[in-house]
Amino acid sequence: MPSKLTELEIRNSKPRKAKYTLAAGNGLMLLVMPDGSKYWRLRYRFGGKARMIAVGKPYPETTLKAATARAADMRALIAQGLDPASERKAEKLAKREQVANTFGQAAEAWLQFRSKAWDAKTAEQARNYLEKDLLPKLRSRPLDHISPAELGALMAKIEARGAFDIAKKTRQWLKAIFSYSRAYGWTANDPARDLAAIAAPAPQQENYAHLQIEELPNFLRTLDAYAGSTLVVCCAKLSLWTANRPGVTRTLKWSELDLDAGLWTINKGREGMKRGYFHLTPLPTQAVEMLREVRRISGHFDYVFVGRNDPMKPLSDGAINVMLKRIGYQYKQTAHGFRHLISTALNDQGYAEDWIERQLAHGDPDKIRGTYNKAQYLDQRRVMMQAWADYLDKIRQQGDDITGDLQRMPLAITA
């Protein structure tokens, strides 16, 4: 039966307030939407029920002639006792199953999917691990042919070089890739399921080296006497006054400081901040005074503690540890060890654990105790850290005997 609709009529059809149809014959029709878009549909009956199915892409990508031909093919299927809608679903499933039959294809699809929820740094890290440890051996391997023993051997190589954290993360990603692949019907294989059972135990991690409280007076005086870089010494002192992570402290920018308010603001997603948490750091008066002096040196640059060879970059990662070695404290104190030292001292004095944990930026401040108050315990922490800085001044002047009548710090304040 010839078409009751012409190309000219289709082109001239205008949108209305409500959608409407133009009959093209034999159940084929054009659906005209209020926004002007036009879709091909085929009405048919199958199993005694009225049904409708899309025919090709919207007009004009699918012309009247092409839509008529496709509709004829669908009616031929109906004549054979086949439902076009069911056949289309089967074709889509078959195509989806063919998308990824190698590990490399599946890993790429999984990475693209997961990267939507990750930040750029996490996605880059995942890709680097895949490219370094998994894809060189598994890229072209069919998913169905990869065995647990094959994956176990790869994990053993990673562990053999001492990269136990990478091995742990890689096991997690292997499980995720195969789980993703099974969900899409690319494989029924699950060779990563039991990898944790043969994971080599990581050596017990030692705490970062740090001094005992009794050793602080001599250390502080030695630090004051150091004749090397003023900026390195100041960076170390700021670590002692704030307990912030070394990577965050050495990359401090002037734009993060409000010296009049005695506040250091670390915005969410900040480079060097673990998991990119937002963090507010109260600055004791000693730190504010020191930073005002440092501004004379580096105030016209972005970074507070500028690099030795390039002032456009921050202090190098190992600068403080090199200084500690030069003043005789190698293996006794590290840049990161200041955090352990401060945490121990504050806990010993009975300060609230929540205040100390917040000062150390442990945990997401947006989720702590179900509140979204980003200034958690700021007033309490300001008093606590000022007391700590005052205590450091006292023991520097007092001498090596810090027991006697000298109270270590003011009594812990209450909430």
Top-confidence residue, 396 or 192: 192
Q: Does residue 311 share a domain with residue 247?
A: yes
In-domain check, residue 374: yes
Nearest in space to 285 (alpha carbons), one of 411, 126, 393: 393
Residue-wise pLDDT tens digits, 206-226: 557 788 888 999 999 999 999
pLDDT surpasses 80 at 204: no
Pairing of strands 263-266, 257-258: antiparallel
Q: Does residue 242 share a domain with residue 389?
A: yes
Q: What is the DSSP string of 65-120?
A: HHHHHHHHHHHHHHHTT--HHHHHHHHHHHHHHHH--BHHHHHHHHHHHHTTTS-H
Q: Does residue 296 share a domain with residue 309?
A: yes
d(CA 1, CA 169): 64
Q: Does residue 250 share a domain with residue 299?
A: yes
In-domain check, residue 342: yes
Give catalytic residues, as residue numbers: 245, 274, 336, 339, 362, 372
Is the pTM for the entire model greater than 0.75?
Answer: no
d(CA 336, CA 329): 13
Q: Does residue 248 share a domain with residue 148?
A: no
Nearest in space to 409 (alpha carbons), one of 341, 351, 337: 351
- For residue 413, give the DSSP letter: P
d(CA 398, CA 308): 34
Boundary residue ending a domain (98, 113, 133): 98
Q: Does residue 112 share a domain with residue 94?
A: no
Q: Does residue 266 share a domain with residue 138?
A: no
Cβ-contact 45, 27 below 8 angstroms: no
pLDDT surpasses 90 at 305: yes
Q: What is the DSSP string of 126-171?
A: HHHHIIIIIHHHHTTSBGGG--HHHHHHHHHHHHHTT-HHHHHHHH
Q: Does residue 172 share a domain with residue 252?
A: no
Instruction: Please tell me the predicted confidence (pLDDT) of residue 272.
Output: 61
What does the radius of gyration of the chain's CA atoms come to, in whole angstroms?
34
Cβ-contact 50, 62 below 8 angstroms: no
Task: Give, in degrees to the nearest 5, the angle at Cα 346 between 342 and 351.
Answer: 150
pLDDT-above-70 percentage for the chain? 87
Instruction: Please tell me the predicted confidence (pLDDT) of residue 147.
Output: 95
Residue-wise pLDDT tens digits, 192-201: 999 999 999 8
Residue-wise pLDDT tens digits, 339-356: 999 998 998 888 888 899
Domain span including residue 163: 103-198
Q: Does residue 255 share a domain with residue 149?
A: no
For residue 194, give the CATH number of its domain.
1.10.150.130
d(CA 70, CA 44): 14
d(CA 324, CA 220): 12
Residue-wise pLDDT tens digits, 242-262: 999 988 999 999 999 999 999
> In terms of residues, how long is the chain?
415
Q: Does residue 272 share a domain with residue 131?
A: no
Instruction: Please tell me the predicted confidence (pLDDT) of residue 261.
Output: 96
Q: Does residue 148 share a domain with residue 36?
A: no
Sign of CA dihedral 282, 286, 292, 294: negative
d(CA 156, CA 329): 37
Q: State residue 51 phi and psi, 5-degree precision.
A: -135, 165
d(CA 262, CA 349): 24
Top-confidence residue, 162 or 33: 33
Q: How many domains does the chain fold into?
A: 3
In-domain check, residue 22: yes
Q: Does residue 192 share a domain with residue 301?
A: no
